Amino acid sequence: MALKIPTPHINAKAGDFAKTVLMPGDPLRAKYIAETYLTDYRQVNSVRGILGYTGFYKGKPVSVMASGMGMPSISIYAHELFEGYGVENIIRVGTAGALNKDLKIGDIVVGMGASTNSAIPKEYGLSGVAPIADYTLLNTLCSEAAAQNKKVTVGNLFSSDLFYGSDPDFANKWGRAGVLAVEMEAAALYLKAALLNKRALAVCTISDSLVTGETTSAEQRQTAFNDMMILALETAKKLN
């Protein structure tokens, strides 16, 4: 592996992570996912409170670790997992704010692509790049959704550096261009995976709407995403 372990931000041993890592933003959500869905799980990271666990989903080894908030943070963890721990697939399981009037709280969006205002593409000399999901992961999750009769909306996300932005016309402008929802990590995750020849996908539950102003509490956000988790876990189960 290209990176020496333990890495600066992950205090785990070789083999502590499964090939597929589910990645919520919130460390407590990582803990919740391990406790709720995995069997025989053990904690493999706690550096800076970024909780990580590895266990089994229906017999398949799966890890879950938080990304923290924002593209600099997810870039660090994705890099160290891919390059230090031999992880092949990262599925972000997060929340996003709707930019599309037809998306309701609790709806699931899947990022086929992720537009961004981040400087990260430029730092790689890739201004104008279109960060996109890995097609195998995207297709596997969408097939699973169809099999379960669960509605998912697939399209463009906007990965923002700012939660509290300053443009009052933001939702209208990006919504008009067909961008479904805003979150803060997918574009950097997609770019990191592409650059390292790995695979990534971002799935988000709508937690608020920038169109209607609706919001959910932090508590609702932690638990209101069970459907999304099952989709992500069933996808992880099918991946090699």
Interacting residues toward ligand HPA by CB under 6 A: 95-97, 160, 163, 182-184, 207-208, 210
Residue 99 near residue 85, CB atoms below 8 Å: no
Nearer to ligand HPA, 50 or 99 (CB): 99
Minimum gap (Å) between residue 58 Cβ and ligand HPA: 29
Q: 92 pairs with which residues across the strands? A: 23, 202
Least separation in angstroms between residue 160's CB and ligand HPA is 5
With respect to ligand HPA, which residue has the nearer C-beta, 140 or 205? 205
How far apart are CB 107 and ligand HPA at their closest, in Å? 13
Contact 178, 67 (CB under 8 A): no
Which distant-in-sequence residues (6+ apart) come within 8 Å of 103 by Cβ? 109, 153, 180, 181, 206, 209
Q: Is 208 a catalytic residue?
A: yes
What is the Cα–Cα distance from 56 to 66, expressed in whole angstroms? Answer: 17
How far apart, in Å, are the Cα atoms of 158 and each of 21, 99, 154, 163, 164? 22, 9, 13, 12, 14
The CA distance from 195 to 74, in Å, is 15
With both helix axes pointing from N to C terminus, report the angle between 226-238 and 135-147 in degrees, rounded to the nearest 10: 120
Closest CB to ligand HPA among 43 and 153?
Answer: 153
Minimum distance between the CB of residue 210 and ligand HPA, rounded to whole angstroms?
Answer: 6
At 61, which amino acid appears? Answer: P
Closer CB to ligand HPA, 68 or 97, in the complex? 97
Nearest residue (beta carbon) to ligand HPA: 97
Min dist CB 182 to ligand HPA, Å, is 4
Given 40, 102, 208, 227, which residue is catalytic? 208
Output the CA–CA distances (angstroms, integers) from residue 221 to 96, 119, 160, 235, in the order listed: 10, 28, 19, 22
**Closest CB to ligand HPA among residues 12, 99:** 99
- Active-site positions read 208
